[in-house]
Amino acid sequence: DVKVTQSSRYLVKRTGEKVFLECVQDMDHENMFWYRQDPGLGLRLIYFSYDVKMKEKGDIPEGYSVSREKKERFSLILESASTNQTSMYLCASSSGGQGRTDTQYFGPGTRLTVL
């Protein structure tokens, strides 16, 4: 079974802190994604990556950055956390490479609260 793990289930940070959310997948997938999920807005894509050291902006990249130094790991970085970044963050991975979208497999999510 594909497994996508996220470093924390719950996280509380203060405004202005730098926050790292880690995601690891164990199926050698090329593609990895970061979404945020908010009530009434569904899932919105923040960043994605089709390969090591590459990244592409999604629909709402402002205030975020990402890092993919190894194929299995995709990190989301909040450079200076703000209260409007309080949300559920979901990581996903899929095989297939750029332009192809096979089934995406999701991690359990990290609920981030910024005070």
Joined together, the tokens standing for residue 30 give 């090329």
Note whether 65 binds other proteins by CB under 8 A.
Answer: no
Note whether 41 binds other proteins by CB under 8 A.
Answer: yes
Choose, by CB under 8 A, the member of 81, 90, 112, 114 that binds other proteins.
90
Note whether 3 binds other proteins by CB under 8 A.
Answer: no
Choose, by CB under 8 A, the member of 11, 45, 60, 77 that binds other proteins.
45
* Three-state DSSP state, 39: coil
* Three-state DSSP state, 96: coil
Cβ of residue 17: shortest distance to other proteins, in angstroms? 25
Residues of the shown chain interacting with other proteins in the complex, contacts defined by CB under 8 A: 4, 33, 40-43, 45, 48, 56, 58, 90, 92, 98-101, 103-109
